[in-house]
Structure 1
Amino acid sequence: MRKFLAATILATSAIGLAANGFGLAASAQEDALYGGTIRSIVVEGNQRIEARTVQSYLLVEPGDPFDPDRIDLSLKTLFATNLFADVSIDRRGSDLVIQVVENPIINRVIFEGNRALKDDKLREEIQAAPRGIFTAARVQSDVQRIMELYRRSGRFAAKVEPQYKPLEQNRVDLIFEVTEGPVTGVRSINFIGNDVYSDSRLRSEIVTKQSRIWRFFSSNDNYDSSRLEYDREKLREFYQNNGYYDFRVTSAVAELTPDQKDFYITYTVDEGRQYDFGVIKVETALEKLDANVLQAVVPIQEGELFRGSQIETTIDALTYAAGVAGYAFVDVRPQITINDQTGRIDITFALDEGPRVYIERVNIVGNTQTLDRVIRRELRLSEGDAFNRILLDRSRNRVRALGFFKDVEVVESPSEQPDRTIVDIKVTEQSTGELSFAAGFSSVDAYLFDLSASQRNLRGRGQSVVARTSLSSRQQVVDLRFTEPRFLDRNLSAGVDIFATKQDFEEYTGFTSDTLGGGIRMAFPLTDRMQVGVRYRLQSDDVKISDQNIIIDSNGMFVTRIVQIAGQDTPNDVTDDVYRAPQPGDEGPGQSVVDICDPAYLLRNTICRSERADISSIVGYDFFWDQTNDPITPTRGFNFRFSQDLAGIGGDVKYIRTESNASFYRGIWRDMVASANFSGGIIVPLDDDQGVRINNRFFRGGSTFRGFDVAGLGPREIQKIVDPATGEVIATQRLNSLGGNAYYQGTFELTVPNFIPEEYGIKSALFVDVGSLGLLEDGDKGSTIILNDGAPLGYGGYGVARYTKDALSLRASAGISVFWDSPFGPIRFDFSQILRREDYDRTETFRFSTSTRF
């Protein structure tokens, strides 16, 4: 650095004009300089800066006397501009001569040798920039900033050497040569004074981790001095939440290892003794608040282990209760009394009306993409309103529920007026565009690929656009949706949907369908936590059953589905070169060739009732009630949804569909959250002759019922091959899934610790899914069908019976779901074990899905 400073002075001197006579002795200069009147001011040595600009900084002008104080102050003012590397003021007769050496202008700022930190990250930290002034002091400051940045990233051995390259026109290229050095890790974390908890237990509670080879994805094992204070606070919280009210960290020391590659961190702690909660009281000076009622709100029980977090929880509960009673300004003060003899802590919560405070201003900070009005319309408070903690917390949750921000923080700051406060809503934008795909594997090796692109915050206006295409072995979907959350600038959302679907469930349900349609929808709130939506959908459905010719007799009874090719011997097994499907002309006397779904065939498949093209005109509504404590990751409360659809106001299809869903959440301990979801639905035909078409029925499985394949449970056609001579069942085959007119399901889930470091972003949950599907109409079940009586029809002379099983019996599965917030996007794995099933259900044991955001 000394070489750089010396070189800088030489460079700036070489770039500027030679400053002759700069080193005059102070006494001689004073005798020659002072006395008389300034006739003119002459500026010399300036190349880029105009003379009148230099003169504007002086405190003297022509006509003024040669005042030594004002000239000295002018000299200091010119140096303070940072425009000049050197300045001298001399007298030439009656002229005041200002000789300057200009500081160069920075042409480019170049970083060399940096790999761990990108150029953009370093440029954010330094002051030097193209077209800026080059000064040694500023460069030195930037060097310190860069080194501090490397220290925060765990590289304490980093070195930064500034260089420059002179250019024409008094310009330079500023070069920072970086030697990053190795990452300075944490070789060990030790604790002194801990008797109750082991070192390993305490290490799990702090953010800083010991450097280990498996933590290559994490930076928490890099030494960062700023984290030490945070870790001290984490230790204090841990001990106080386990009863140790007197706990304190007496010292936290970080020592560099002899090889200067890592740090030893040592915490010295004083655990103190463990306490229980003693007598808990509530006192209030507010008339409308009954202390006995407030006592019931307190979650602390006498005799429980003392937990510091319970005090804050109680304050929040009492504040909320006072707010419900109409007291927006309440002051809750816990008065703590420690009894060392009994080992208990008595607490009295004193409530009093606090000073009235009003909101002077609400600032939205950090919204680089989202418009201010999109955020403000979610707030329950505005400028001039009385400050209300409950409404402020509700506003924060509403902004978080938008899903546009990674973090939402509410910060209050005092105003110049004592009864006013300023509220800052600080948001951190996150990607609201999403490109997602999902893949799955089932017990029948079906593939699934789902691709969708969506933007939930179009142009920062809160509008949602979704373009989804899904490709699988069973269906192809194109779905376009647009939602305006504030239609006509009112608290009313509106949306338009256009969709086209091609489903091929022939292998599993025996039908294919093509759907094309569109719809409109609107929703409006009843309260902050209740919402009602209405919708209308018009669509065309074309359901098809695979064509298959058969021969029937004059009574409409089955004769055969294959005929022998002329000239071929009759084999024991069916082969394509011996048998073929019947064609017109193959029928015998009194017989006819028809399609398997022809109405003339009396024993046709029950799903043939659905083979037609219909127009569906559907109007519906839904009701949603949310009482959870958090819109994204709830740990307490419930939500409920009820919806109905009526088809039949115009169109060809007539039914009423009802569905309901309720979810309950309860935090148990730390990251353990139990949840229960109950859902059910029923569809009732309004035309008994028409029934419910198979494409309108409920199907469960796959992502809707883990452990079962798509359409894997519920009513199904069964085919048995029987020896007509003995009546013995040779084989049982699972055929088409028919769906159901009603279902019920319960899902129970418990997030559990998996002892994997938190920085890996891997979480897990145990689940149990129970429920069933069924309740088909009799006309949709059909009756037992005997396809043949032993004639050679491709079954080796055996008889074939086909019938429908519809048992609304309980199914159950259990397993574990693993969630990984990977660098490529969130990934989910489901591992399932079937607990209860019917022998005709289709199952799967593994499924995964993933998505990525842009």
Structure 2
Amino acid sequence: MRILNKLFRVSVLTLALLGVVALLPGGVGNLVGSAEAAVARAIVVRGNTRVEDETVRSYVTVKPGRPFGPADIDESIKALFATGLFANVDIAQSGGNLVVTVTENPIINRISFEGNKKLSDEALTGVVQSKSRAVLTRARIQSDVQRILEAYRRSGRFRATVEPKIIDRSNNRADLVFEINEGTKTGVERITFIGNKNFSDGRLRDEIRTRQSGFLSWLRTTDIYDPDRLNADQELLRRFYYKHGYADFRIVSAVADLDREQNVFYVTFTVDEGDKYTFGDVDVVSSLQGVNNDTLSSYVRTHSGDTYNSEEVEKTLEDLTIEAANRGYAFAQVRPRADRNYENHTISISYYIEEGPRVYVERINIRGNDRTREYVIRREFDIAEGDAYNRVLLDKAERRLKNLKYFKDVKITSERGSSPDRVIVNVDVEEQSTGEVSFGIGYSTSDGVIGDVSLTEKNFLGRGQYVRVAVGGGTDKRTYDFNFTEPFFLGRRISLSLEAYQHVYEDNSVRDYTQRQTGGGFGFGLPLRDDELKLNLFYKIYQTKITDLSSDASKVLQDAEGDYLTSLVGYSLVYNTLDDNSNPREGIYAKFQQEFAGVGGDSRYLKTTVEGRYYQELIPDWGVVGMLKGTAGQIQGIGKRLKFTDQFFIGGETIRGFETNGIGPRDMGNSDKEALGGTYYFAATAEATFPFPGVPEEFGLAGAVFADAGSLWGIDDNLKSKADKLVSDDFDLRASVGFGILWKSPFGPLRADFAVPVMKNDSDETQIFRIGGGTRF
């Protein structure tokens, strides 16, 4: 019975469905046709004013006469939106046609920025991708907002906000305005090191470029967080540890945490120092025919027993590579092989020199140099296109380019050339500002308040030339200086320097006369061994005028009144291995110089001076740096007596505890006890500097203890005969001890010294306190 009921229901439903289909126009055929895909006779474009109809049709996947479905419509709409030309797209079938209706995006009339002060309109224009007279798209605007925010983050402003505004204009044009709230600067509140045992946090902070925020933040930008700078800091830390013998050093992590409430960053470096190593056995093994190992050993800078130093290893590689090339092996490769003894903490190094694969430099691409001329970069390479490829020489070129200070960053990479034996070298540089307008102000106990203003350009017109113009003055002096240096004269690694100046020193407590000196000169610098040893040849000519003598001036001064011309040639040998010329901690500086006056002019003499300084970290963990310094000089007339101003004058600037011109021969025949100078002098200094314990390093305070000694003697016989009452002309040792306070102030480095003479003559002029300094900002 149930089965019969089900059969009855199915029959009724089937009859009903057949009846409905029978009522439709066309019957069953119509139902079958409705399931088939639609076909468009033509594609009609509407709403476009700038874009051609054919351009729109080219992005529509539906073709006339071919079936299409909903998927084709969706794909066409996506393709049209992807062009960035349209704000809205609608596709519908009308009759037998497919109608594409578009609303075009407006054209950008102009782009402006409001509220920006720290970043200029020019800088922001270079950041955004939207350009005037280009199509305005919402996606690109949002991308530009992120780009502007990233630019502000890189300048240390993480609270910056950007709101884009679109202002409609006629003819489907629009102005794009970015309203910017720059916010306050996000500084680095604290830099912490974890895992360091041999060097303090303060010592390591001195080695990196990032600085902590403090009361000097308004003068610098290195106290803002910059991810690129943080990466560079990690490399600086590695080089520092590798240089001091810690070959196993590694950085576990470098993290910058942002405190959004305080708007500050906390930077933390976690390090693993490892053990300290010294060099073990060092030898050279050459497989080059005719090249003796012993002769190449003289170019090795690493010596057994010395503290391991990765920089010395790198320089040895460079020296051996260049020497092998000079001997005819252009493809020679130098590979260091290290044998590490973990028990004795030694690293033995063998430098293997062998013939490398014959690979040539096909091309050198220079990229990123918008201002610097390409030849300025290329001349720092010891290889050129077509030469043998050598990675060691490329690393040397990269170091040279970084030392120029023209670029924020330099990266040299290589890729395969057109054939297996060809290599393409890519040099990517990021330029930075090289010009400087400086205002100086300072105080000297001998010259009172002094100041100057100077214009300096280290990369003049992108040619790598150095130009400086300076004007200075003070209570008792006026100075005018011009300097120009061409580091590559006539396309060779020979520097040409030009100078012109006028210095006026008026009479004061240490001078009983006014001296005006006007002159100039030129010189050539020739590197003898890379950047460490240099020969300078120079010519100088200047006119000296002595006026305004007091009525009771010494006969020596009276005879010197007037003006005379000095024309001289000279040379100097300079050896410099200092790690930092402005704030050295390690290294040697030595200079030997001779001047011969007599190439015309009124003076005839030979002057010889020597200077040597040695720096060494005494207690690296505490930042204690020791310095030993020695200077000496001798001058003698040649066929003509010396003039008063030709002689040496020294005092408190050389041996602290004494006045300027405070030691040496003097004429006691008048009330002023006038200094007459001498033909011989020497001075020596032993000093140790250290940061003040317990004082935050942000204050920039440091202390120094020192001992000075020296003497000035031997006035010229012609001048001696004119003195009324000559005293202190013999070699008498002067000495002093004292302490100093050094301050890296907002007005520049200042130094105050307190010195007590422990050995002196009765005629000497003493000075317990001396202060000096200046600034550049």
TMscore range, shorter length: 0.7 to 0.9
Whole-Å Cα distance in 1 between the matches of residues 606 and 255 of structure 2?
A: 68
Does 2:434 correspond to 1:431? Answer: yes
CA–CA distance in structure 2, aligned partners of residues 523 and 208 of structure 1: 31
* TM-score normalised by structure 1 residue count: 0.67
Q: What aligned pairs does 1:100-499 form with structure 2 within 5 A after superposition?
A: 100-109=102-111, 125-146=127-148, 160-176=162-178, 286-287=286-287, 310=308, 312=310, 316=314, 319=317, 323=321, 326=324, 328-334=332-338, 352=352, 355-356=356-357, 358-388=360-390, 391-392=393-394, 394-396=396-398, 398-399=400-401, 402=404, 404-405=405-406, 409-416=410-417, 420=423, 422=425, 424=427, 426=429, 428-442=431-445, 446-489=448-491, 492-499=494-501
Partner of residue 508, structure 1? 510
CA distance in 1 between counterparts of 2:522 and 2:185 reads: 57
In 2: Cα distance, 1:744 partner to 1:533 partner: 23
Indicate conservation of the 8 Å contact 2:447/2:477, yes or no: no
Measured at CA, do residues 408 and 809 of structure 1 come closer, stay the same or move farther in structure 2, by a change above 3 Å? farther
Listed as ranges, the gaps of 5+ residues in structure 1 are 1-26, 305-309, 549-595, 598-603, 721-732, 786-801
Shift of 1:622: 0.5
Give the Cα–Cα distance (whole angstroms) in 2 for the partners of residues 160 and 758 of structure 1. Answer: 37
Aligned to 2:568: 619
Q: Which runs of 5+ in 2 are unaligned?
A: 1-30
Is the CA contact 2:59–2:79 (under 8 Å) kept in the aligned structure 1?
yes
Distance 1:199 1:210, change over 3 A: farther
The whole-number CA distance in structure 2 between the counterparts of 1:185 and 1:457 is: 31
How far does residue 371 in structure 1 lie from its aligned partner after superposition?
A: 2.0
Q: 2:596 aligns with which of 646, 651, 654?
A: 646
* Structure-2 change in CA distance of 1:702 and 1:431 (3 Å): farther
Residues 425 and 700 of structure 1, relative CA distance in 2, 3 Å threshold: farther
- 1:681-720 alignment to 2 at 5 Å? 681-687=633-639, 691-701=641-651, 703=653, 708-718=658-668
1:677 Cα deviation (Å)?
Answer: 3.8
Count of residues in Structure 1 that have an aligned counterpart in Structure 2: 721
| 2:753 equivalent to 1:831 | yes
- Distance in 2, matches of 1:149 and 1:485, equals 35
Give the conservation status (yes or no) of the 8 Å contact 1:249–1:267.
no
Q: In the aligned structure 1, how far is the partner of 2:83 from the partner of 2:41?
A: 27
Shift of 1:684: 1.5
User: Paired residue for 1:752?
Assistant: 690
Q: Is the CA contact 2:569–2:595 (under 8 Å) kept in the aligned structure 1?
A: yes
Q: Show the counterpart of 2:728.
A: 805
Write the distance in 2 (CA, Å) between the matches of 1:198 and 1:495.
41
Residue 239 (structure 1) shift: 10
Q: For residues 843 and 321 of structure 1, what CA distance do their matches in structure 2 show? A: 50
Following superposition, the deviation at residue 833 of structure 1 comes to 1.8
SS in 2 for 1:383: coil
* Residue 772 of structure 2 is aligned to residue 848 of structure 1: yes
Equivalent position of 2:577 in the other structure: 628
How far did 1:694 drift?
1.4
Matched-pair contact (CA < 8 Å) for 1:83–1:133:
yes
Q: Contact between 1:250 and 1:269, CA under 8 Å: does it hold in 2? A: yes
Report the CA distance shift for 1:764/1:99 in structure 2 as closer, same or farther (over 3 A).
farther
Output the aligned Cα RMSD: 5.5
Which amino acid is 2:634 matched to? I
- Secondary structure, counterpart of 1:77 in structure 2: helix
* d(CA) in 2 for partners of 1:378, 1:229: 25
Query: Corresponding residue for 2:90?
Result: 88
Q: Residue 201 and residue 385 in structure 1: after superposition, are their counterparts in 2 closer, same or farther (change >3 A)? A: same
Tell me which amino acid in the other structure corresponds to 1:810: L
Q: Which amino acid aligns with 1:411?
A: I
Aligned to 1:44: 46
Shift of 1:465: 3.8
| 8 Å Cα contact 2:665/2:678 also seen in 1 | yes
Secondary structure at 1:141's aligned position in 2?
Answer: helix
- Structure 1 residue 83 displacement after superposition: 0.9
The aligned counterpart of 1:771 is 710
Q: Does 1:657 align with 2:607?
A: yes
Say if 1:809 and 1:494 are closer, same or farther in 2 by CA, change over 3 A.
same
Q: Cα deviations across residues 562-610 of structure 1 (Å, max 9, x unaligned)?
A: xxxxxxxxxxxxxxxxxxxxxxxxxxxxxxxxxx78xxxxxx7233232
Assess, with a 3 A threshold, how the Cα gap between structure 1 residues 133 and 519 changes in structure 2: closer, same or farther.
same
Opposite residue 749 of structure 2, the aligned amino acid is I
Change (3 A) 1:647 1:358: same
**1:739 matched residue in structure 2:** 677
| Partners of 2:420 and 2:57 in 1: CA distance | 48
Q: 1:744 deviation in Å?
A: 1.9
SS of 1:78's partner is helix
Q: 2:139 aligns to what SS in structure 1?
A: helix
Q: In structure 2, how many angstroms separate the alpha carbons of the residues matched to 1:202 and 1:428? A: 29
Identify if the C-alpha distance between structure 1 residues 263 and 113 changes in structure 2 by more than 3 Å, giving closer, same or farther: same
Contact 2:664 2:675 in 1 (8 A): yes
Q: Is the 8 A contact 2:665 2:729 kept in 1?
A: yes
When residues 508 and 149 of structure 1 are mapped into structure 2, their CA distance, relative to the original with a 3 A threshold, is: closer
Instruction: Give how far 1:621 is off.
Output: 1.8
Report the CA distance between 1:510 and its aligned residue. Answer: 3.3
Aligned-pair CA distance for 1:697: 1.8
State the alpha-carbon separation in 2 of the partners of residues 188 and 495 from structure 1: 44
Cα–Cα, structure 1 residues 32 and 712, in superposed 2: closer, same or farther, change >3 Å?
farther
- SS of the counterpart of 1:461? coil
